[in-house]
């Protein structure tokens, strides 16, 4: 059982691999270096100190410790709640055949193609004082006094994070569970165990890697959460990412930003290490288990539990998304007036209110141009690093420690810091900084995706092409490249989907001149123009949805 095997000895790559690795590492760490330079020069209007002792003092200050504590506790609580919500779904999806099963699996697209800014909007609309949820409760005669404050509380934040990320658990754990042979659990039963003990002995140890893989991924997402915390988390605390943004953008405190960024990076690296470790184990188990086991038909008690579960998901999770859609097409004759269906919100965004025309077309063009460029750059970087890491893999397909670090490190670097660093390095060329920043965030995902495809290449096919008369270059181009092409397409679509929904980097860089769709939505929310924000959100979701659709299609092909 490969998932339980000892890791193979690491590989070493050649000089070219080391150079590529060092360059990629440099590209990732350049923004941090820019901040360090700024700090040593005492830059930033509100900078505290320029020596190590000063940094240590900042680190141990109550404010910093509170932020660290808040970041960790909200990420941990969100992860646990996401697991609690997602695991029953994974169980049903993996073990039963039922109408709506594909819908549950489809939910996994949401964390990847619904930008955070839209989540903010959807939850504000749905769980706000006048939103569907509390209006519904009032209609039923249930009055919740503190409804308006829930979203802005610690648990409100945890709730949003959990409901945004639980589909990851359904997808990742469900994929292993549906392949897991039942024989070990059955063996435990025949050896005298009850159902629960048999599950604990025969199934849980094999599901644990995928549960921990999902948990570490969700922890990372929540730990770096920016937009959601920026809007909802201000009452009870703030995450490191938001405080880095505030230190860089508003107080100009490079010392504080540096301390917070370093702490964040260290914690995130631990989470990335966990993720990589359990991701490898999960992939190995999936490979070992092979094909999907036959799914059972629902019997009565399970059907009732599933119906309750589905109703809760619809109520708490699909509800906000539905309210987003409805709001986009809800046109009011006057503020607080009658509502009717129409395209008025879209028209207003297209035509604008002044003489300069609407902001929608401009922001769409900006988004397409910036995200397209970022995705292309991310693909080039990701391909180079994945190719170089692959050339240094050992017989067991394990890449070197340097390659692992190069691919993992960017996942642990603050996007706000990345934006700031590239902003400093590019001077007044904000657009270059946005593209560089977004590609820094996206390329590790490309490298991972392509790296996996390269790792599963069958050398026999390359050799077959050689015996049929192809030169090494031709065999690589016609056979190997053809095999990994769907993965490259998938990675490209994912990189595009990620970057077009990103709000952090343009926001940090104050990209007002290059307003992207997420920035437009953020601006509309800030000025309480929710209906128009929803209309712009639908357009954004359309782009990310199309990109994600292509990603899924490419994944199926590969």
Partner 1 sequence: MKHLDIQNLEFRRGNFAIKTALALDKGQTGVILGPSGSGKTTLLRLIAGLEHHQSGTISLGGRRIDELPPEKRNIGFVFQDLALFDHLDGRNNLRFGLKQHHVPESEIGGIVDSLSDKFQIKPLLSRRPWAMSGGERQRLACARALAVNPDLLLLDEPFSSLDAPLRRELRVYLRSRLAETGTTALHVTHDVEEAMELGDVLFLMNRGSIIVSGTPEEVCRKPKDAWSVHFLGLGILIPVNSLASGAEWVSAECGNSGFSVLRSSCRINMEDVSNSPDDHYVSQASAPEQNYFLFCPLERLQLVQAQPQAKRSSCNSISGTIERIVINGSRKRATFKPSGLGLRNESSGPDGSALLFELELPQDTAAAPGDSISVLMPREDCWILPSHADTLS
Which of residues 186 and 333 has its CB atom nearest to partner 1 in the complex?
Answer: 186
463: Cβ contacts below 8 Å, ≥ 6 apart: none
Q: How far is the CB of 187 from partner 1 (least distance, A)?
A: 4
Work out whether 181 is an interface residue with partner 1 (CB under 8 A).
Answer: yes
Query: Is residue 135 a contact residue for partner 1 (CB under 8 A)?
Result: no
Residue 335 CB-density burial (10 A; 0-12 exposed, 13-18 middle, 19+ buried) = exposed
Instruction: Kindly tell me which of 173 and 413 has the beta carbon lying closer to partner 1.
Output: 173
- Total residues at interface with partner 1 (CB under 8 A): 23
42 vs 104: CA distance, rounded Å: 52
Token digits for 109? 């697209």
Choices 178-186, 251-259, 364-372, 459-467; region in contact with partner 1 by CB under 8 A: 178-186
Figure out which of the listed residues 45, 62, 146, 183 binds partner 1, where binding follows CB under 8 A: 183
For partner 1, the binding residue among 18, 101, 138, 184 (CB under 8 A) is 184
Strands (E), 274-418: 296-297, 330-332, 339-341
Select the residue interacting with partner 1 from 190, 353, 467, 527 (CB under 8 A). Answer: 190
Q: Does residue 194 interact with partner 1 by CB under 8 A?
A: yes
> Does 202 help bind partner 1 (rule: CB under 8 A)?
yes
Nearer to partner 1, 183 or 334 (CB): 183
Question: For residue 308, what are the contacts with CB-CB under 8 A and spacing of at least 6?
Answer: none
- Record the tokens describing residue 461, joined without a space: 């096919």
Phi, psi torsion values for 506, nearest 5 degrees: -60, -35
- Indicate the SS3 state at residue 339: strand
Interface with partner 1, residue 205, by CB under 8 A: yes
Burial class (CB in 10 A: 0-12, 13-18, 19+), 288: middle
Using CB atoms within 10 Å of the CB of residue 202, give its burial: 0 to 12 exposed, 13 to 18 middle, 19+ buried.
buried
Nearest to 483 by CA among 504, 507, 462: 462
Q: Which is nearer to partner 1, 22 or 204 (CB)?
A: 204
Q: Tell whether residue 8 is a contact of partner 1 (CB under 8 A).
A: no
Smallest separation (angstroms) from partner 1 to the CB of 295: 13
Binding to partner 1 by residue 197, rule CB under 8 A? yes
Alpha-carbon distance of 537 to 533, in angstroms, equals 6
Q: Which segment (3-11, 21-29, 245-253, 344-352) binds partner 1 by CB under 8 A?
A: 3-11
Can you tell me the distance from the alpha carbon of 132 to that of 113, in angstroms, rounded to the nearest whole number?
24
Residue 441 · residue 415 · CB < 8 Å: yes
Closest approach of partner 1 to the CB of residue 302, in Å: 15
The contacts of residue 396 (CB under 8 Å, 6+ apart) are 8, 9
Binding of residue 546 to partner 1 (CB under 8 A)? no
For partner 1, which residue of 18, 101, 138, 189 counts as binding (CB under 8 A)?
A: 189
Tell me: does residue 228 bind partner 1 (CB under 8 A): no
- Between residues 270 and 292, which has the closer beta carbon with respect to partner 1? 292
Judged by CB under 8 A, the residue of 82, 173, 188, 321 near partner 1 is 188
- Least distance from C-beta 490 to partner 1, angstroms? 32
Closer residue to partner 1 in complex, CB, 39/278: 278
Member of 62, 99, 192, 336 binding partner 1 (CB under 8 A): 192
The first and second tokens of residue 222, run together, are 């929540």
Whole-angstrom CA distances from 342 to 72, 345, 347, 542 are 44, 8, 10, 18
Which one, 301 or 335, has the nearer CB to partner 1? 301
* Residues lying near partner 1 in the complex (CB under 8 A): 1-5, 181, 183-184, 186-194, 197-198, 201-202, 205-206
């Amino acid at each position: 059982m490969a998932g339980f095997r000892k890791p193979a000895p690491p590989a070493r790559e050649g000089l070219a691999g080391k150079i590529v690795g060092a360059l990629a590492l440099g590209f990732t760490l350049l923004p941090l270096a820019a901040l360090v330079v700024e700090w040593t020069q005492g830059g930033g209007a509100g900078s505290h100190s320029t020596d190590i002792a000063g940094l240590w003092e900042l680190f141990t200050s109550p404010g910093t410790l509170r932020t660290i504590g808040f970041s960790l506790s909200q990420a941990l609580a969100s992860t646990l709640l996401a697991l609690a919500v997602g695991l029953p779904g994974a169980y049903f999806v993996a073990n039963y055949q039922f109408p709506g099963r594909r819908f549950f699996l489809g939910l996994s697209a949401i964390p990847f193609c619904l930008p955070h800014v839209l989540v903010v909007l959807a939850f504000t609309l749905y769980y706000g004082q006048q939103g569907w949820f509390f209006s519904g409760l009032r209609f039923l005669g249930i009055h919740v006094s503190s409804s308006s404050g829930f979203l802005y509380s610690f648990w409100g934040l945890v709730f949003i994070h959990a409901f945004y990320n639980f589909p990851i658990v359904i997808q990742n754990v469900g994929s292993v569970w549906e392949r897991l042979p039942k024989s070990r659990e059955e063996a435990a039963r025949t050896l005298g165990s009850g159902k629960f003990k048999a599950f604990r002995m025969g199934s849980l140890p094999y599901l644990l890697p995928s549960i921990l893989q999902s948990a570490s991924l969700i922890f990372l997402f929540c730990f770096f959460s920016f937009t959601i915390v920026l809007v909802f988390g201000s009452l009870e605390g703030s995450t490191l990412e938001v405080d880095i943004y505030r230190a860089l953008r508003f107080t100009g405190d490079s010392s504080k930003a540096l301390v917070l960024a370093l702490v964040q990076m260290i914690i995130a690296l631990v989470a990335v290490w966990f993720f990589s470790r359990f991701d490898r184990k999960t992939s190995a188990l999936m490979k070992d288990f092979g094909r999907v086991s036959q799914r059972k038909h629902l019997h009565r008690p399970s059907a009732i539990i599933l119906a309750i579960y589905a109703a809760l998901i619809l109520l708490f999770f699909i509800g906000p998304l539905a309210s987003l859609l409805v709001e986009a097409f809800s046109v009011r004759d006057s503020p607080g007036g009658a509502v009717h269906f129409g395209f008025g919100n879209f028209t207003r965004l297209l035509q604008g209110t002044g003489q300069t025309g609407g902001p929608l077309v401009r922001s769409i063009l900006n988004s397409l141009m910036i995200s397209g460029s970022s995705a292309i750059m991310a693909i080039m970087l990701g391909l180079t690093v994945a190719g170089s890491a692959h050339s240094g893999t050992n017989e067991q397909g394990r890449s070197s420690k340097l390659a692992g670090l190069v691919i993992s490190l960017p996942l642990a670097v603050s996007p706000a810091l990345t934006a700031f660093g590239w902003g400093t390095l590019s001077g007044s060329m904000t657009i270059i900084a946005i593209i560089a920043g977004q590609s820094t965030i996206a390329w590790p995902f490309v490298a991972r995706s392509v790296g996996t495809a390269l790792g599963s290449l069958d050398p026999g096919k390359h050799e077959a092409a050689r015996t049929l008369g192809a030169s090494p270059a031709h065999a690589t181009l016609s056979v190997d490249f053809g095999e990994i092409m769907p993965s490259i397409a998938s990675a490209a679509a994912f990189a595009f989907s990620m970057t077009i929904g990103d709000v952090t980097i343009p926001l940090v860089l104050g990209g007002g001149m290059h307003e992207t769709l997420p920035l437009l939505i953020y601006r509309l929310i800030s000025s309480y123009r929710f209906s128009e924000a929803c209309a712009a959100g639908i357009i954004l979701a359309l782009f990310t949805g199309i990109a994600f659709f292509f990603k899924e299609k490419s994944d199926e092909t590969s």
